[in-house]
Structure 1
Amino acid sequence: MAREDWEVFRLTGVAHLMSISGLHVTMFAWLAGTVIGWLWRRSARAPLWLPAPQAARWGGLVCALAYALLAGWGVPAQRTVGMIAVVVLLRTVGARWPLHAVLLAVALAVAMGDPWALLQPGFWLSFVAVALLVASEPAQAAPEATAAGWRAAALQALRGGLRTQAVATVGLAPLTLVFFQQLSLVGFAANLVAIPLVTLLVVPLAMAGVLLPPLWSLAAAFVEGLMVLLHAMAAWPWALWQTAAAPLWALACGLLAGALAVLPLPPRWRWLALPLLLPLLWPPVPRPGPGQFELVAADVGQGTAVLVRTQRHLLVYDAGPAYTPEADAGSRVLLPLLRARGERHISLLMLSHRDTDHTGGAAALLDGLPVRALASSLENGHPLLANAAARQVPHSACNAGQRWVWDGVQFDVLHPPAEALAAERRGKPNTLSCVLRVQATAPGLGGGPPPSALLTGDIEAAQEAALVQQHGAALASRLLLVPHHGSKTSSTPAFLQAVRPAQAVVQAAYRSRYGHPAPAVMARYEALGVQPLRSDRCGAYVQAADGSGHCQRQMGRRYWHHGSAAPHPAPPAGRP
């Protein structure tokens, strides 16, 4: 399936059906057990050795295990096979456990077998979904006996399916917002169609196609029909609710709201779910004040991507690399980061030059968020310019001398000169990198100088010399994005003396195949009393509105992060 298809599944909330879900494993186990039991009863001796019901159960378990292993042994498959195994074992020994005890035992077994599963959203979504169905009143109610015929039975099954889907949708909504900061508003309706279609028609036909290949074409026809419906639903204006990452207290309130909404409680308690859920739906999003900006140098591997946020505007400087034809920093890092920060649009996307480690994620950003304007040194005819034109995103070349002010924060483009852009457009792209200086006007931490930042792209020694000659001491900036990822061709001594950074950030991959950053270059910074912060060790670097900064990896260290924290020197007094 293409990335565009998965985007439609995400928007409509049916992605769980397009992977190997627990429902598919259970259905396969039931079908396999039915066939094995039927064959077992045809034997004259086999039932004397092992009763047919037990043979069907154990055979179904073995088939479910094989199916789950073949499908990749994901957490939902582990949970399902574990629950089937516990039930089969209990039936064999004549014991009976309540469903919540079975679920707890399986969760413990999965966590002991793979402790890292606790960090996967799929673990919590899978087990919590079943726990809610077990704990909710509709899931516990015994089926009513009826003699009214197949119509009443079908109506009862329909009501049960609607209740089950409602419990899963409402109960898992807070968890979905916690993990993904988004909620499909058409998911309930989409799943009402997709679940029976995929479970009762597509999956059985796909399995039967192993014996009768023409059935695969029939299954594909059902999938194509479903995709038409899902595309239409995904295009609805309010198909998806997106929000920023909420603080811990809002997460706790939201999870409590989901439990209250589906548990068998008096109505007056269930109504409390609505006010408890509101902080998770509309969490507070802090923004810089007038004259301030916040900067995030994202950890995208071997590439550049920087977010600059003022009070009402967002600038994205470069979009990171493309990892594979199906994955890039835009879709894997920047879009989730922007959504978690509550960003609704990009005021300006600036692409410093055409190298793919700077533009690899740009197409995903254009697809994923509204972009108000594009600035770059890309040549005419570049695919990204055609992409932007098709979306009616205005494009302008970044020329030295351009200046604008957002919310009291000044932005200056220092490079390339217009004549260089015109003469060398087909030349080495590094020499045409857009260089941007950002200057706050509000005082920094403790009333110090207003923070500033210099974003340099991949300029090399000649461009650095030209900047020093033209701007001199005006290049001075508190934060410097180290040119060309710390390459030997950049960060000349004269340039560093002019910039006089208090903080230098290197965006480079772990064990970069290009040798970035070069030890000799890092020694130049250290000689100036600046300890460069490397994204391969520091993770994302965040400079707050007051000029203070931190490494994100230090803020949320894991037990597998070995060694001491990256040094974080205090800025020398008087530096901008």
Structure 2
Amino acid sequence: MDGQNPTHRFPGLALTPSAALALLAGVVLVQALPVLPPMVLSIGLLVASVCGLLRWPRQYAWLLVLVGAAWACCRADLALHARLAPVLEGQDLLVTGRVVDLPDRRADALRFDLRIDTAASEGQPVPLSGRIRLSWHGSPPEVTPGAYWQLVVRLRPPRGLRNPGGFDFERYALQAGIVATGYVRESADNRFLAAPGRFAIDAWRDHIARHIDRSLGGEPHSRWLRALAVGDQRALTDADWTVLRATGTSHLMAISGFHVGLLAGFGVLLARAVWWCFPALLQRAPARHWEAPAAVAFAALYTALAGFGLPTLRTLIMIAVIAGARWVRRSSSSAQTLAVAATVILVIDPVAVLSAGFWLSFLGVAWLMFCLGERRQPWWREIVLAQAVTSLGLLPLGVWFFGQSSLIGPLANLVAVPWISFVVVPLTLAGVAMAQVAPVAGDAVLRVAALAMDLQCALLQGMATLPAAQWHFAEPSVLALLLAMAGAAWLLLPRGWPMKWVGLLLLLPLLWPRSDRPGPGEVDVEVLDVGQGLAVLVTTSNYAMVYDAGARYPSGFEMGGAAVVPAAHARGVHSLDLLVVSHADNDHAGGAPAVAAGLAPRRIEGGQVLADLPGAVHCEAGREWTWNTVQFRTLHGGSGDPLLSDNDRSCVILIQAAGGRVLLTGDITRPVEQRLVPVLRDDPVSPLALVVPHHGSKTSSSPAFLDAAQPVLGIVSAGYHNRFGHPHPDVVSRFVSRGAALLNTAESGCIRLRIGADGLHVREQCRLDRPRYWSPIQANFHR
């Protein structure tokens, strides 16, 4: 050896901030791929780039980008291959495995995750391992975390909805390691196999959550303490999350890295108390040899209780790096420590970059380091500056991931962060710990913590009701995000930096994006992907309408708030001129209350009485109106004939622009179709797109109706592999025989049409036009 420092000889191997950024860049580039390269190519690139690092260490930046890309491809490919094979979809499988995380008992089913040990079909082993998400309907037994079960299940690969602004479940499944979803079948083979092990972390978490609930007598505010103590968010309601989002405090209910740091600090204080009481211990080892492991141990314990969430894991790694450096008497800068934490997570799980938590956690810390550095400030000034820095620095990411930002978030966090972090969390953890040795005293402390949390909740609820507490933004482009990030960095540069106004200009494309609304005389009709249901967003240059709002399920999940409202916000629509609920069937009307609450329609119409929509009126055949020269006409309403079935009471609306027409039909069947034949036959001949009646049921889309309408395009809104078999093969053949194209939201995702003077065009199919390697694409264009 020549005595040189190895990191000088091989700078590419040092875990510096620049190396971590290069590795991150490679991992991020892969996430834009529509399809992953072959595994052989990814492995070859990984080996070649690693060898290149050893051979040309001074080119480490570019080579680490290749390492990151190749490694991300390999890990993602393995994760996708672990998913349920298509040939096993819908089969009864006998699986054994361990319950992981915390089961969630809801009104309609028990939901839990099972990590599979073995799987078999008809007595033969099948290649399936990993984590599956199950629902157990009926009256399921008690399922405890960490327990081993044998179950008969029916599964399918992870599949989600694809809409603008919506939640991408397939991406989440890849990140969370979920290889299949399904339900437990009623079977005599379902049986409990073994209790949780003594060191099952999830069983501890469940035990602590139950103890908090019992200590507080099942009172509603126990849900907050459960979330702060063990990351148990099962009892938090939609109203709770609405308040947290409106005030920008959702991160506090996810056990933030700051809370883990507090526990590490408590470990240090405890170690100091021990050697202060027993000073002879310092003769055996210096203080740092007692403090470092204590800090890591307490941080690791809280990270485990939080379910190893990404922000807590990042903090744990950073604490471990600092503690290790102190142990070996080496210094480690904050930037170096953050770089090591990022590198470790990217090596362990490069798919973590798909989660919002990864970016908000690491970038939030990076902004604080960049702006505050090592400068000492009065504590109150540090708190104020930290909130200002994180609010501005993370604004672009908040808009990118969630499509919204809280205007009162900085003020709410200025109060909530210190109160929850220094009062509620310590009291909650102290109460939990004391309950193990002195239950009465521990329960008393928990009640004090609940009271403190109630005070904070009352304040947050009041702030959430302030005008314009929360702003929603249209879906931004990648370029707008990058410009906004640069703008935030510009604004956060040291005082005195010239032309700070440039930072504000760079934020404008994100906060005030170019409108994609139709021009005068044009209309957009977007059939949203809401599973087995219907929801259509109609926009002209100045007006907006929603026709139907999808279903609401016994679990409380509903499509109005999950799909329709986010899609409207993503398209730049913040209020409606008209909400039409075709009829009262749940798959059309279930999400309507959420749409009414989120988009405040000026007028509500329905084909039937809608008790949960005050002020709604019946849609009446013959009503006409014009928006921006686009004509709307109600062809059929449900109030005139008491003999009509519920489906045939659907409002039928014809939309006509200069270059084409769209017909919204709800669930009408042949009797109403027959009434519409003369109307459609006498209409001007222009291209017509038909939202296929009743999801493509064989009771609709009669030959006479199709001959009169002469659609050039049919759009089916149906669930993927739905149990009704929609669209029916006979309906498909009728469209094909007439030369009409047929699209299905189950395969295309959302389907967006634009009609103007130049005709009728399919402008976007969300699943096909936004391909991602984690989302399967299937042929869906029938001719």
Shorter-chain TM band: 0.7 to 0.9
Contact 1:473 1:499 in 2 (8 A): no
Residue 305 in structure 1 maps to residue 535 in structure 2: yes
Match of 1:572 in 2: none
**CA–CA distance in structure 2, aligned partners of residues 227 and 501 of structure 1:** 54
Match of 1:253 in 2: 483
Residue 496 in structure 1 maps to residue 706 in structure 2: yes
Q: Aligned with 1:439: secondary structure?
A: strand
**CA–CA distance in structure 1, aligned partners of residues 684 and 315 of structure 2:** 61
What is the letter of the counterpart of residue 430 of structure 1?
A: N
**CA–CA distance in structure 1, aligned partners of residues 740 and 304 of structure 2:** 52
Residue 454 in structure 1 maps to residue 663 in structure 2: yes
Match of 1:383 in 2: 611
Report 1:183-262 matches (<5 A): 183-210=405-432, 211=435, 212-262=442-492
Out of 636, 640, 650, the position equivalent to 1:433 is 650
Out of 553, 557, 564, the position equivalent to 2:771 is 557
Structure 1's unaligned 5+ residue stretches are 145-155, 390-394, 442-449, 570-576
Out of 368, 374, 388, the position equivalent to 1:166 is 388
Contact 1:37 1:53 in 2 (8 A): no
- Listed one character per residue, the Cα deviations across residues 230-268 of structure 1 (whole Å, up to 9, x for unaligned) are 222222223233332234443222111111122336421
Report 1:85-484 matches (<5 A): 85-136=320-371, 138-141=372-375, 143=376, 156-210=378-432, 211=435, 212-264=442-494, 266-379=496-609, 382-385=610-613, 388-389=614-615, 395-416=616-637, 418-420=639-641, 423-424=642-643, 428-441=645-658, 450-469=659-678, 471-472=680-681, 474=683, 478-484=688-694
Contact 1:257 1:276 in 2 (8 A): yes
Out of 724, 745, 749, the position equivalent to 1:514 is 724
**CA–CA distance in structure 1, aligned partners of residues 619 and 777 of structure 2:** 42
Deviation at 1:36, TM superposition (A): 5.2
Change (3 A) 1:563 1:238: closer
Change (3 A) 1:523 1:182: same
**CA–CA distance in structure 2, aligned partners of residues 322 and 40 of structure 1:** 60
What is the letter of the counterpart of residue 538 of structure 1?
A: S
Match of 1:529 in 2: 739
Change (3 A) 1:462 1:36: farther
Contact 1:166 1:188 in 2 (8 A): yes
Deviation at 1:15, TM superposition (A): 1.4
**CA–CA distance in structure 2, aligned partners of residues 204 and 559 of structure 1:** 43
Contact 2:608 2:649 in 1 (8 A): no
Deviation at 1:539, TM superposition (A): 0.7
Match of 1:447 in 2: none
Farther-moved stretch of structure 1 (112-121 vs 251-260): 112-121
Contact 2:549 2:581 in 1 (8 A): yes
Q: What is the TM-score with the length of structure 2 in the denominator?
A: 0.64
Q: Aligned with 1:335: secondary structure?
A: helix
What is the letter of the counterpart of residue 121 of structure 1?
A: A
Contact 1:289 1:311 in 2 (8 A): yes
Structure with the bigger percentage of strand = 2
- Listed one character per residue, the Cα deviations across residues 340-375 of structure 1 (whole Å, up to 9, x for unaligned) are 211121010000111111112211112112210000
Contact 1:184 1:239 in 2 (8 A): yes
**CA–CA distance in structure 1, aligned partners of residues 601 and 391 of structure 2:** 32
What is the letter of the counterpart of residue 626 of structure 2?
A: V
- Listed one character per residue, the Cα deviations across residues 203-247 of structure 1 (whole Å, up to 9, x for unaligned) are 111112222012222222222222222222222223233332234
Q: Aligned with 1:140: secondary structure?
A: coil
- Listed one character per residue, the Cα deviations across residues 509-554 of structure 1 (whole Å, up to 9, x for unaligned) are 1121222222332222222223421112101101124421131112
Match of 1:65 in 2: 300
**CA–CA distance in structure 2, aligned partners of residues 324 and 20 of structure 1:** 29
Q: Aligned with 1:501: secondary structure?
A: coil
Change (3 A) 1:489 1:63: farther
Contact 2:639 2:649 in 1 (8 A): no
Match of 2:253 in 1: 18
Farther-moved stretch of structure 1 (119-128 vs 227-236): 227-236
Deviation at 1:41, TM superposition (A): 7.0
* Superposed CA RMSD: 2.5
Change (3 A) 1:116 1:323: farther
Contact 1:132 1:263 in 2 (8 A): no
Farther-moved stretch of structure 1 (468-477 vs 526-535): 468-477
Match of 1:151 in 2: none
- Listed one character per residue, the Cα deviations across residues 12-61 of structure 1 (whole Å, up to 9, x for unaligned) are 11111122111112212322443356457767998787665334432432
Q: Aligned with 1:134: secondary structure?
A: helix
Q: Aligned with 1:465: secondary structure?
A: helix
**CA–CA distance in structure 1, aligned partners of residues 370 and 521 of structure 2:** 52
**CA–CA distance in structure 1, aligned partners of residues 730 and 276 of structure 2:** 78
Number of residue equivalences: 535
Residue 544 in structure 1 maps to residue 754 in structure 2: yes
What is the letter of the counterpart of residue 433 of structure 1?
A: S
Q: What is the TM-score with the length of structure 1 in the denominator?
A: 0.86
Farther-moved stretch of structure 1 (10-19 vs 517-526): 517-526
What is the letter of the counterpart of residue 603 of structure 2?
A: A
What is the letter of the counterpart of residue 693 of structure 2?
A: P
Percentage of identical aligned residues: 38
**CA–CA distance in structure 2, aligned partners of residues 123 and 531 of structure 1:** 42
Deviation at 1:432, TM superposition (A): 1.0
Deviation at 1:114, TM superposition (A): 3.1
Deviation at 1:568, TM superposition (A): 8.0
What is the letter of the counterpart of residue 487 of structure 1?
A: S
Deviation at 1:106, TM superposition (A): 1.7
Deviation at 1:158, TM superposition (A): 0.9
Deviation at 1:180, TM superposition (A): 2.7
